[in-house]
Amino acid sequence: MSGRIKNIDVYNISEKSTEKSSPWSSTMIIVRITTDDGLTGYGEAPTTLMTLPVLESVKEVMRSFVGKDVHNINSNVLDFYRNSFYLSRSMEATSALSAVEIASWDVVGKMLGAPIYELLGGKVREEVRAYSNGWYSDCVTPEDFISKAKIQKGKGFDAIKFDPFGNSFDVIGKESLEHAESVVRSLREEFGDSMDLLIEFHGRFSFDAARRACERLDPYDCLFFEEPLHPELEMRLPELRSRITTPIALGERVLNARDFMRNMVEGKVDIIQGDLTNSRGIMESFRIASIADAWGLPVAFHNAFGPIQTAATLNLDVSINNFLIQESFEESWPKWKRNLVKSGYTLNGGRFKLDGKPGLGIEIDQASLDSHQVEGMEPFDPESPPWVVSGTYIGEDNGSK
């Protein structure tokens, strides 16, 4: 087999019926590599308010990859790095590159008859602990959160992540702060130590608001606070960390290993949350995990989009030393997204297991992929940002007091 990349196809897919999901989950970008031997591999890119830019960026990545030997993943990525002047700061470019890089690994694994984790040194664990996310749609009151969290507990999850801050943004008022605490306190009282609580801040606060929220929630023994500050305020994370005992996690908007290293060395983060679909794919994410391991930090990869991303991420989870916990939206996906992949991994009792098949290990339902192709951007709601879980961006004071 020569393994030359013959062509790269890109799919913009969504549900065409009335079935809905949160806006950031309503579309998917799938990349398919085909070699001159007829082998195919798949990758995935995020879409949150950048669907069309990422689609166009994939076309730029094609020019560095088509005609190249698919085995030479590092060389092909380096070639795009050499040509893409703004790669280190462009989420669109890194997302497109990540999708193609992941698809390259899928092909190489199939060629060699080995799952990707074997190419990374093999397994260090058989199963992967997951936390549930996306489960709290339309939750507003503490009672809402408890009711739906019990469903996740019944499915075997012993960790959940959620955003209790309603429509607060940049600043947070007294009423919103008290409401967020009541949600977290109620969940802790309901589940005790049987459920880890992970707090999603969505990178939405100024320093003073983040400080007030973190200090208020610090006593509830949460596993971590994720992105409490606006990303541009990262230089104040060491000061924020000094005020609380709960670990700070971040990484879904950090695009490469060198930027992660700087965050670690400068004391800004306790838990690393790289995202394979926007930090240059599998090899760069393996490097990120290795740097974190050398610095003594655990890794909990961000994983909010689709089954191809999940399969790629799980191949890393089972092969790295410093794995902590894995984000999972599987239980909250719409049916069309669930049906895109026929096999590759299972999720039972809050634990993932890989099937052990070559490459990513997945089997794509090509008919589903073809039938869900769409054109245009994802939905836009001027009243609710696309990064929130549906029905939760409401509140009384919007941080105005």
Check 71, 179, 230, 302 and give the catalytic one. Answer: 302
- 381 phi and psi angles, rounded to 5 deg: -120, 110
Residue 181 tokens, joined: 């605490």
Return the biggest CA–CA distance within the chain: 66
What is residue 33's three-state secondary structure?
strand
- 185 phi and psi angles, rounded to 5 deg: -60, -45
- 52 phi and psi angles, rounded to 5 deg: -70, -40
Query: What DSSP string runs through 292-307?
Result: HHHTT--B-----S-H
Tell me, yes or no, if 202 is annotated catalytic.
yes
d(CA 321, CA 317): 9
Tell me, yes or no, if 302 is annotated catalytic.
yes
- 388 phi and psi angles, rounded to 5 deg: -90, 160
The amino acid at 154: G
- 33 phi and psi angles, rounded to 5 deg: -95, 135
Burial class (CB in 10 A: 0-12, 13-18, 19+), 380: exposed
Crossing angle of helices 307-317/282-294, nearest 10°?
A: 40
Q: Are 73 and 104 in contact (CB under 8 A)?
A: yes
What is residue 351's three-state secondary structure?
strand
Catalytic site positions: 202, 302
